Structures are given as structure tokens and as C-alpha cells.
């Protein structure tokens, strides 16, 4: 059947997809106008420099109304898609190193300035959301997390992440805490395999603490991990599990924001079935926004599948991920202070090129 357009279904749909290059092709524009699509995620291949990204965001936002949500992975360190024309941030583990050296309060101050500078730069380019902060605990097990983790201490991770979000939220940039309920205790990379965390829920409670702190602070979105926790749900990875998303995250922890799936093209999601099955399972579990990356055929399959239904979710929660105006502009003095904090953090990361 023909794909329905946003003129027939005006709200944002539940898919967030990607594009191949520096501008969307005609075919990609047609895809992005489909009612099942609600957003675009940018990768390094889409980013030359800040001015090019600003123009790209303007072009993407103009494709439809309400505008597509535009997101990016801009954590710092090895996960920073846009590098030219913006601040080059170190890995977030440097905040933990600063806490070890100078105390938690110093690290929180630096984190707040980091969030403020990051958010100001990305909102100025038209980005709505950043898939950060990563609050997996640094258990020395997961290479794919590694120095993306802030620290091992859950109270410190929560306190630093909340300070980071406090800076970021002032700018109007939306954040996504990840990877719920915690990816730090497994060695396998969910991009390539399905990690298995055999701990009971009582042990995983420690990993939940930073998420609880961010929920209390008002973080608008949380991303579940493509990990299986068999003592909690023996059949479904967290991103496809009503037990994790509805019972624990929403009912027990009180989260009312957006659940953003990790990439449904990752190997950790393949056990659920084909792309249509993954889409159905994620939505049934309680996800609101579904990422499909580096798989245009899978994205097209998902859009066709959703639009073959009489109804698919377009819930009001997605409105929370649209970027908004800063509560106050970043003054020259504030910017200088934030940059100085980042320079000091970079010095704590041996070998960081910047």
C-alpha cells in the first residue's frame, strides 16, 4: 500500500532514521516526510563543520510540520560526531577523574559548565537533542563503554550527571540518559552480539541509581540497552521488555518521559526477529521513539509496516524532545569560564588530541 504522508497523519511518528551524506537525497526527503518518521539522527558522515550542520538542520526542519526531531551522539571523547567548529570535549571519564582528584563538588561544577557549553553550541546549530549522558557504571568490564562511563561510584555518577543535565537544560537542548538499566557489567558489545548480564535485580539496583537521580532531575528521555538480564526477564532484552520498561522504569521509578530505543539494526536486537517484529516488540514493551541506523532497507520496511496499520503511536511525549529556547544566553564571560573548565578536563586525559 502507498505510504501515508504527514498531511494525513500530522503528528511525529515513532521512527528516527539517518541519511547517507551531507544533504538528504530526493529519496531520503520522501522517506523523511512519511508519517511513521519523527526524527533524524546525524553521524560523522553527515558533519563537515558547524556551519554545514546548521544548514543541514535548517533543511531537515523545513521538510515538514511539526519539524522532524534532529539528534546526534555528542558525548565527547571517541563519541563526538561533529568536531569542526565546536568544542572538542574529552571522554566523560575525565569528570570522574576530576572527582577523584579534587572532590565531587569540583566535578559537578565542571560537568555543569560542560553541559552549558555543549548545549549552547548544538542548539545554535538547530539540533534538538543529544544522546547523552552515558551513565553506565565503570566496572572495568565493557570495552564499548570504557571511558564513556563517568565513574564506578553510582552516587558520584548520578551527582555528576545531574549537574551536567542542569547545565544542558538551560540551553534548550534535550538529553537522553543511557543505557538503562546499565551496560557496564557485560563485556560483549551489543552492536555485535547480545550481552548477557546474569546478576539478580538486587545487584542491578546499584546501576539504576544514576537513572533514578536523572529522573528526579527531569531528564526527558532514557535509552534502554540491548542487553539480556535473564534473572529479571529471561526472554527479552531490556529494550523489548515490558518488565523493564513498564514495571521497573515507569511504575517503580516513576519515569514519565520518552523511552528511546537503541538502534534496532544492532546485533543485540536481531534475536527478536525481522525489522517489523523488532518495531512491534519495542513499541509493545513501551518504547516511544525507535532508532534505525545504517540500514535504509530496514527503515523503509519499518515505515511500510507501521503505515500498514490502522493506527500507530504518535504520543505527545515526543514533544518533549523538541529543542527550545535557552533560559538565558551564554555570556562571553560564561563561555570563557566553560572553555577553561574543558581545557582543564582535557589535561586529565593523557593522549587526548582535542
Whether 353 shows a pLDDT value over 80: the answer reads no
Amino acid 350: pLDDT: 80
Summarize pLDDT for 274-315 with one digit per residue, the tens: 999 999 999 999 999 999 999 999 999 999 999 998 777 665
**What φ, ψ does residue 331 adopt, rounded to 5°?**
-75, 165
Per-residue pLDDT reduced to its tens digit, 43-55: 999 999 999 999 9
When mean pLDDT is compared over 187-191, 247-251, 265-269, the highest value belongs to 247-251
Q: What is the pLDDT of residue 312?
A: 74
316 band by pLDDT with thresholds 50, 70 and 90: confident
pLDDT of residue 235: 96
pLDDT value at residue 111: 98
Band of the pLDDT at 352, cuts 50, 70, 90? confident
Tens of pLDDT along 98-115? 999 999 999 999 999 999
Residue 264 has pLDDT above 60, yes or no: yes
**pLDDT of amino acid 6:** 41
Burial of 128 from C-beta contacts in 10 A (0-12 / 13-18 / 19+):
buried
Which residues in the chain belong to E strands, given as ranges? 15-17, 37-42, 69-72, 74-76, 79-80, 129-130, 174-180, 221-224, 258-259, 290-291
**pLDDT tens-digit series, residues 324-344:** 999 988 999 999 999 999 999
Write down the mean pLDDT value for the chain. Answer: 94
Please report the pLDDT score of residue 1 as a whole number.
36
The pLDDT assigned to 4 comes to 44
Could you give the CA distance from residue 194 to residue 262 in angstroms, rounded to a whole number? Answer: 13
Residues recognised as catalytic: 191, 262
CA separation for the pair 80, 75 (Å, rounded): 6
Residue 3, pLDDT > 50, answer: no
DSSP 101: H
> What's the pTM value of the predicted model, to 2 decimals?
0.95
- What gap in Å lies between CA 320 and CA 325, rounded to an integer? 13
pLDDT at 59 over 80: yes
Residue 9 pLDDT > 50: no
Mean pLDDT computed over 129-158: 97
The three grid cell numbers given for residue 73, joined into one nine-digit string? 551522539
Q: Binding residue per annotation — 179?
A: yes
Domain 14-314+321-343 CATH (choose: 3.20.20.300, 3.30.360.10, 3.40.50.2300, 3.40.50.150): 3.20.20.300
Q: How far apart are the first and last CA of the chain?
A: 50
Rounded mean pLDDT, 345-352: 88
Write the CA distances from 227 to 7, 28, 82, 294, 350, integer angstroms. 38, 31, 28, 20, 31
112 known member of a binding site: no
Q: Is 73 flagged in the annotation as binding?
A: yes
Q: Is 309 annotated as a binding residue?
A: no
In the prediction, which pLDDT does 314 show?
A: 63
For the stretch 24-44, pLDDT in tens is 999 999 999 999 999 999 999
Cell of 107: 566535578
Q: Tens digits of per-residue pLDDT, 159-179?
A: 999 999 999 999 999 999 999
Percent helix, percent strand, percent coil in the chain, to nearest 5: 45, 10, 45
Higher pLDDT, 349 or 171: 171
The region that residue 89 occupies, defined by phi over 0 for left and psi between -120 and 50 for alpha, beta otherwise, is beta
Amino acid at each position: 500500500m502507498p505510504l501515508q504522508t504527514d498531511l494525513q497523519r500530522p503528528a511525529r511518528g515513532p521512527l528516527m532514521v539517518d541519511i547517507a551524506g551531507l544533504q538528504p537525497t530526493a529519496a531520503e526527503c520522501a522517506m523523511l516526510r512519511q508519517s511513521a518518521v519523527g526524527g533524524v539522527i546525524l553521524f560523522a558522515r553527515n558533519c563537515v563543520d558547524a556551519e554545514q550542520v546548521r544548514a543541514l538542520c535548517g533543511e531537515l526542519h523545513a521538510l515538514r510540520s511539526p519539524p522532524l526531531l534532529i539528534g546526534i551522539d555528542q558525548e565527547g571523547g571517541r563519541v563526538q560526531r561533529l568536531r569542526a567548529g565546536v568544542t572538542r570535549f574529552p571522554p566523560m571519564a575525565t569528570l570522574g577523574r576530576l572527582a577523584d582528584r579534587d572532590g565531587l563538588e569540583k566535578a559537578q561544577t565542571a560537568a555543569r559548565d560542560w553541559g552549558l557549553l555543549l548545549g549552547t553550541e548544538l542548539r545554535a546549530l538547530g539540533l534538538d537533542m543529544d544522546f547523552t549522558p552515558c551513565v553506565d557504571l565503570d566496572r572495568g568490564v565493557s570495552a564499548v563503554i570504557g571511558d564513556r562511563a563517568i565513574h564506578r561510584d553510582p552516587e558520584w555518577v548520578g551527582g555528576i550527571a545531574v549537574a551536567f543535565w542542569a547545565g544542558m537544560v538551560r540551553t534548550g537542548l534535550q538529553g537522553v540518559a543511557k543505557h538503562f538499566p546499565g551496560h557496564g557489567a557485560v563485556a560483549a558489545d551489543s552492536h555485535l552480539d547480545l550481552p548477557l548480564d546474569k546478576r539478580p535485580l538486587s545487584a542491578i539496583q546499584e546501576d539504576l541509581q544514576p537513572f533514578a537521580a536523572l529522573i528526579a532531575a527531569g531528564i526527558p528521555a532514557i535509552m534502554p540497552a540491548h542487553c539480556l538480564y535473564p534473572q529479571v526477564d529471561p526472554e527479552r532484552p531490556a529494550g523489548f521488555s515490558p518488565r523493564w520498561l513498564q514495571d521497573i522504569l515507569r511504575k517503580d521509578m516513576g519515569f514519565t518521559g520518552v523511552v528511546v530505543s537503541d538502534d534496532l539494526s544492532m546485533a543485540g536486537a536481531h534475536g527478536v526477529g525481522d525489522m517489523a517484529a523488532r518495531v512491534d516488540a519495542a513499541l509493545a514493551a513501551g518504547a516511544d521513539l525507535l532508532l534505525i541506523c545504517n540500514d535504509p532497507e530496514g527503515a523503509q520496511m519499518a515505515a511500510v509496516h507501521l503505515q500498514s496499520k490502522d493506527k500507530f503511536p504518535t504520543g505527545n511525549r515526543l514533544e518533549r524532545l523538541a529543542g527550545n529556547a535557552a533560559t538565558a544566553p551564554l555570556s562571553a564571560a560564561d563561555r570563557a569560564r566553560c572553555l577553561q573548565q574543558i581545557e582543564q578536563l582535557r589535561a586529565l586525559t593523557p593522549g587526548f588530541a582535542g
